[in-house]
Amino acid sequence: MANNVYVAFKGTVKLGVPFLDGYKGDPHYVISSEDPSGNEFRIVTNVKSDSSLAGAAGYNVLYVWNQYFQHPMTADLDTLAPGVATSNFPKLDYVHDKRLVDLTAMRPIPLDTKDEKNDINALLNEMLTLDMSADGIDYVYPTPTYSDNRLGWKPTKDVTVYAFGFLFEPKHDGLHETHMNQGNPKPSKGSHVKDHSNENGVFQDGAVIVEVDGKFQALFVAFQTQLVPTDNRGRPIPGQSHPILQTKG
């Protein structure tokens, strides 16, 4: 299980900041939101895998975009207090909650920084109702090791974001790992695939859910290296687990 704190965040979206060609660092979309005190809270979502299979296609993340998300937990989201929740919030599990996401519907999606279409950037731009025809707003994306000058766009409607993942350390001014956080195999000796097996756990998966005009949409992201099904610790099961894309309906 991951060592930092699994949380949910509820807030108002101020800017959507897609990951565009020439940006520094890990390929993350940034959702700049506001907490109840008026401070910025950043939610980052992977638009590309950092350690997937060989070849260009191996860096494509897997996704399901549910434009009409219906789940019993939406009632709990409505009553969730704005800000960071460390308890008493719906905890997500892609594998063990069969109502949450259909793993058989997951598909790989490339990162298209040239035309900015048909990728996670474009999906989130639409979910957040960004007007990409407007001029971008200068936005400085800070990290512990560097700052990057980027462009963001404002929503055209009131957008409430519900993000699930792990708090930034040490400042707790944002969250990451808004993707499946289980099924990571232990790489074989000499493998070039990064070891994420220490992040495995159950009911600690990430996602981005937005509410616009009283309707919910959800974006679920996973990686091609992750295996299902998983055991009660979120670990692949020897002799049973397989890549998500081999999941049968």
* Angle at CA of residue 15, ends 143 and 77, nearest 5°: 95
What is the rounded distance in angstroms from the CA atom of residue 108 to the CA atom of residue 63? 6
Mean pLDDT of 42-65: 82
* Residue 105, in any domain of the structure: yes
What is the rounded distance in angstroms from the CA atom of residue 103 to the CA atom of residue 109? 15
At residue 191, the pLDDT reads 74
At residue 113, the pLDDT reads 64
At residue 163, the pLDDT reads 98
Report the candidate in 127, 118, 114 with the shortest Cα–Cα distance to residue 31.
127
Domain tally, the chain? 1
Lowest mean pLDDT among 106-115, 124-133, 211-220, 227-236: 106-115
At residue 228, the pLDDT reads 97
What is the rounded distance in angstroms from the CA atom of residue 203 to the CA atom of residue 113? 33
At residue 247, the pLDDT reads 82
Mean pLDDT of 9-38: 94
Mean pLDDT of 103-113: 89
Mean pLDDT of 199-210: 97
Mean pLDDT of 195-201: 91
* Residue 189, in any domain of the structure: yes
At residue 49, the pLDDT reads 86
121 against 54, higher pLDDT: 121
Report the candidate in 99, 106, 105 with the shortest Cα–Cα distance to residue 73.
99
**Boundaries of domain holding 160:** 6-246
What is the rounded distance in angstroms from the CA atom of residue 20 to the CA atom of residue 13? 20
* Angle at CA of residue 130, ends 129 and 134, nearest 5°: 145
What is the end-to-end Cα distance of the chain in Å, rounded? 28
143 against 56, higher pLDDT: 143
pLDDT at 35 over 50: yes
* Residue 1, in any domain of the structure: no
pLDDT tens digits, one per residue of 61-84: 999 999 999 999 999 999 999 999
At residue 57, the pLDDT reads 63
pLDDT at 1 over 50: no
At residue 187, the pLDDT reads 84
Residue with tokens 């895998």: 49
| Bridge partner list, 151 | 138
| Bridge partner list, 243 | 227
* Residue 65, in any domain of the structure: yes
Q: What is the 3-state secondary structure (H, E, C) of the chain?
A: CCCCCEEEEEEEEEEEECCCCCCCCCCEEEEEEECCCCCEEEEEEECCCCCCCCCHHHHCEEEEEECCCCCCHHHHHHHCCCEEECCCCCCECCCCCCCCCCHHHCEEECCCCCCCCCCHHHHHHHHCCECCCCCCEEEEEECCCCEEEEEEECECCCCEEEEEEEECCCCCCEEECCCCCCCCCCCCCCCCCCCCHHHCCCCCECEEEEEECCEEEEEEEECCCCEECECCCCCECCCCCEEHHHCCC
Mean pLDDT in the chain?
Answer: 92
pLDDT tens digits, one per residue of 113-134: 666 677 999 999 999 999 999 9
* Residue 191, in any domain of the structure: yes
